Amino acid sequence: MDIRKVKKLIELLEESGIAEIEIREGEESVRISRAHAPTVAHPVHVATVAASAPQTAPAAPTAAPAAAAPARKANEYVVTAPMVGTFYAAPSPGAKPFVDIGDEVKVGQVLCIIEAMKMMNQIESDKAGRITSVMAQNGEPVEFGQPLYTIE
């Protein structure tokens, strides 16, 4: 199957909002899915520790990050990066960000874009609430499981 056809299918999938498509041409087939990776609390903690490590003294890398990790409230939910890529807070340079601190968000609302392998992936909210913090910088690389937003 021609790569241009696959790219066109991906574009159609993104524009239409359907979750999955499968196409067969003779013996060749391609299946494209927009499944979202589940957010897991453990990678968030690990990513938070890794982000805190450069700020601590190098002599005690194991004890200091645990103390430096901020305590989360019981009603806080952390949205993490489902993939490695470049974080974009707005749909285009100079445009208003998808969300700011204090904004109310709904389940499925686009929070940001992560560019991975020249593909723009819209990251949607898994939870409704109010954005209390933005932990990624626009145009900066993000790692899998890295905290992006906190929703209360």
Is residue 40 included in any domain, yes or no?
no
pLDDT at 96: 93
Is residue 97 included in any domain, yes or no?
yes
Domain of residue 121, residue span? 73-151
Is residue 62 included in any domain, yes or no?
no
pLDDT at 148: 94
pLDDT at 72: 62
Residues 12 and 82 grouped into a single domain: no
Phi/psi for 46 (5° steps) reads -65, -45
pLDDT at 50: 42
- Six-digit token string for 24: 């067969």
Residues 139 and 83 grouped into a single domain: yes
Is residue 60 included in any domain, yes or no?
no
pLDDT at 138: 92
| 8 Å CB contact between 6 and 23 | no
- Please tell me the total count of domains within the chain: 2
pLDDT at 10: 76
pLDDT at 5: 77
Pick from 148, 149, 146: nearest CA to 47: 146
Is residue 8 included in any domain, yes or no?
yes
Is residue 13 included in any domain, yes or no?
yes
pLDDT at 8: 79
CATH assignment at residue 83? 2.40.50.100
pLDDT at 36: 53
Residues of the chain with pLDDT under 50: 37-69
Is residue 138 included in any domain, yes or no?
yes
Is residue 54 included in any domain, yes or no?
no
